[in-house]
Structures are given as structure tokens and as C-alpha cells.
């Protein structure tokens, strides 16, 4: 913390007079997968001019000796808040530089959301230029408290004016990673954050030596691994219905084919019966013709209307 206090003081002072040497480069995040924001000193930020807006936020934290499930060290309790828009962020907001200093404006906002904390220039941590079309410089302050003090602020926040309106509630950041490589900090980082809040969280955790840089990189990398696509139950139901319709159509075609085959078989059977009947009739006639005295019977059969076509046609069809 002593080193961080020195860094904060140097950042607040800004550029040194000519000939007095120069400040060391401002620290950067350096975590793969997280776009860098341009750092600048507090002095430089104050010289940006009236065309720039200033947002000031506070990270309140406390050493936490607790153990999750009796085996996972919690190490620190870090406060963030769930906003009205469903995004995570630090307590704070925009400060109108025409009427307030950075710290006075920040404390005014904190009083609405937390109710019982005041920060000073000594708590200043860093400033960064934000990406995007808006000309905004984001300032972050950090204050270490005792766990009891932090818990008091959590209770006070529930009774603040903004609770349930602009602020849905305070949350603690899990700084550990579970064995599945996602539980804890990786899952927390997978949430949606407002503005520079995610960058500021990672930056503060690194600069304040609260989480090793390699652990931060692992947590960020875990959130960027491709996830299995979510099951579209509507699409599955539609595909099932389409398969059922296709199966029904195939069954209908098979039924139609079967009906056609049955009709054809029935027609063939009728034809066969007719042919058999014709052959039998011819055989009877031939047999009668061979019987003495039956000529009159045969002649009478042929004399009946249509008898020749009925008796002879099936024989012709059979022969063909």
C-alpha cells in the first residue's frame, strides 16, 4: 500500500518541471484479451479542457481472512454494485467540474448511494481515457477499510436514497477461482459491466497486488473460451414436427402404393377368374360336342344373345 500511495501521489502531481527529471511510465493493465486504455496523470486530466467529461468512481475493499467451504481463501472483500440497467459498476458517477472538485463531486454521489463514506485526494488511484465517441476521462479512487467498516457501508447502502432505484444492491467480487476454472472470478468477469468498470476492476486488482497478474489472465481467458451453443428448444420442436410430417408423408405414399397394388392384384384375379371361366365354358362345349345327341344343346347355347362373345372372348384373351 505504501508503494501505491506513492504512485497515487505521483499521478496526482503530474508532469515535473523541466530539468527535474521525468516520472516513470504510468502502469498499464497488460492482460491479454482486455483492450488497454490510455493512462494519464490527474494533473494531465485536469488540463484536458471543458470539452471533456469526468467520471469518478470508488473501489472500497478490505482484507478478508474468511474461508469459503473451509478451504478456499477469500483474501479480500471488494465492493461493486448492481445498477438500475442491470450492469455492474463501482459506486460513483459523473462530476460537473464547473461546480465541484473531483473528490467533492464523488463524495456527493457516494452520499446518495452509500451514505457514510468520504474519500480524499489521497485515495486517488488512476485516470484513463475511455474509448468511443464521447470525450470522457475515468478516475478511480481506492480506499482500504476494515471488514467491519466495509460491512457497515453495506448495511448503510440498503438505507440510502438510491437503493432500489438507481442502485439495485451491493455485491462482493469473488477473487478466487474454483477447480472447474470458471467458478468465482471468471464467472463474475463474464457479467456485463458499465463503461470502464471491468477494466478498472482488473487494473486495481493488479496494481494493489490483490490478485496475481497470471491469475487475472487465467480468469479473463476462461471467460473467452467458446461455449457450447445453447439449445434452441423451439428449433428442436420444429425439427421434430418436420420429421413427423415427413414420416407421415412416407407412410401415406406407402399406403397409396399398397392400395394401388391391391387394386391391380384384384383386377388380375378377376381377369384370371374370367379366363378360367372362359376356358371351362369352352371345355364344356367341346365335351358336349363329343357326346352323341348333344348337338341340339350346343346349338341352343350358341343361339342365346352374346353367348359367343362370352364363351369365346375369354379364350382369346387367355391365348394372347
Residue 137 structural domain: 39-223
Nearest CA to 163 among 172, 174, 154, 150? Answer: 154
User: What's 104's domain CATH number?
Assistant: 3.90.79.10
Q: What pLDDT is recorded for position 174? A: 98
Q: Which three cell numbers stand for residue 22?
A: 521525468
Question: Is residue 245 included in any domain, yes or no?
Answer: no
How many C-beta neighbours within 10 Å does residue 286 have? 10
In angstroms, rounded to a whole number, what is the distance separating the alpha carbons of residues 88 and 62? 19
Average pLDDT, the chain: 80
More confident residue, 224 or 282: 224
Confidence of residue 9 (pLDDT cuts 50, 70, 90): very low
Question: Is residue 308 included in any domain, yes or no?
Answer: no
Q: What is the mean pLDDT of residues 127-143?
A: 92
Question: Is residue 165 included in any domain, yes or no?
Answer: yes
Structurally, the chain folds into a number of domains equal to: 1
Candidate ranges 48-52, 175-179, 255-259; pick with highest mean pLDDT: 175-179
Question: Is residue 94 included in any domain, yes or no?
Answer: yes
Q: What pLDDT is recorded for position 211? A: 96
Q: What pLDDT is recorded for position 285? A: 53
Structural contact between residues 206 and 119, judged by C-beta atoms closer than 8 angstroms = no
Which DSSP string corresponds to 81-98?
EEETTS-EE-SEEEE-TT
Q: What is the mean pLDDT of residues 7-34?
A: 65
More confident residue, 34 or 239: 34
Question: Is residue 117 included in any domain, yes or no?
Answer: yes
Q: What pLDDT is recorded for position 318? A: 38
Question: Is residue 283 included in any domain, yes or no?
Answer: no
Question: Is residue 137 included in any domain, yes or no?
Answer: yes
Structural contact between residues 300 and 306, judged by C-beta atoms closer than 8 angstroms = no
| This prediction's pTM | 0.66
Question: Is residue 268 included in any domain, yes or no?
Answer: no
Candidate ranges 114-128, 201-215, 232-246, 306-320; pick with highest mean pLDDT: 201-215
Amino acid at each position: 500500500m505504501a508503494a501505491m500511495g506513492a504512485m497515487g501521489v505521483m499521478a496526482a502531481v503530474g508532469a515535473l518541471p523541466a530539468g527535474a527529471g521525468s516520472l516513470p511510465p504510468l502502469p498499464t493493465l497488460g492482460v491479454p484479451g482486455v483492450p488497454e486504455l490510455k493512462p494519464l496523470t490527474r494533473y494531465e486530466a485536469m488540463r484536458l479542457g471543458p470539452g471533456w467529461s469526468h467520471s469518478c468512481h470508488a473501489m472500497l475493499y478490505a482484507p478478508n481472512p474468511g474461508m469459503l467451504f473451509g478451504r478456499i481463501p477469500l483474501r479480500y472483500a471488494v465492493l461493486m454494485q448492481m445498477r438500475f440497467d442491470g450492469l455492474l459498476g463501482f459506486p460513483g458517477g459523473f462530476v460537473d467540474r464547473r461546480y465541484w472538485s473531483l473528490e467533492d463531486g464523488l463524495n456527493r454521489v457516494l452520499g446518495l448511494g452509500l451514505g457514510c463514506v468520504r474519500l480524499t485526494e489521497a485515495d486517488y488511484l488512476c485516470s484513463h481515457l475511455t474509448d468511443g465517441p464521447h470525450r470522457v476521462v475515468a478516475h478511480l479512487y481506492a480506499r482500504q477499510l476494515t471488514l467491519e467498516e466495509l460491512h457497515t457501508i453495506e448495511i448503510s447502502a440498503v438505507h440510502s436514497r438510491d437503493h432500489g432505484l438507481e442502485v439495485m444492491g451491493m455485491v462482493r467480487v469473488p477473487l478466487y477461482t474454483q477447480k472447474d476454472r470458471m467458478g468465482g472470478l471468471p464467472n463474475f468477469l463474464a457479467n456485463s459491466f458499465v463503461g470502464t468498470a471491468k477494466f478498472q476492476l482488473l487494473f486495481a486488482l493488479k496494481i494493489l497486488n490483490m490478485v496475481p497478474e497470471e491469475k487475472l489472465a487465467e480468469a479473463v481467458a476462461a471467460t473467452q473460451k467458446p461455449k457450447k451453443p445453447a439449445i434452441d428448444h423451439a428449433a428442436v420442436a420444429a425439427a421434430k414436427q418436420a420429421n413427423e410430417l415427413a414420416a407421415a408423408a412416407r407412410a401415406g405414399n406407402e399406403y397409396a402404393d399398397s392400395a394401388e397394388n391391391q387394386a391391380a392384384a384384384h383386377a388380375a384375379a378377376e381377369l384370371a377368374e374370367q379366363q378360367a371361366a372362359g376356358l371351362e365354358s369352352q371345355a364344356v362345349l367341346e365335351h358336349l360336342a363329343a357326346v352323341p345327341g348333344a348337338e341340339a344343346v350346343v346349338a341352343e347355347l350358341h343361339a342365346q344373345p352374346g353367348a359367343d362373345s362370352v364363351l369365346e372372348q375369354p379364350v382369346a384373351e387367355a391365348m394372347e
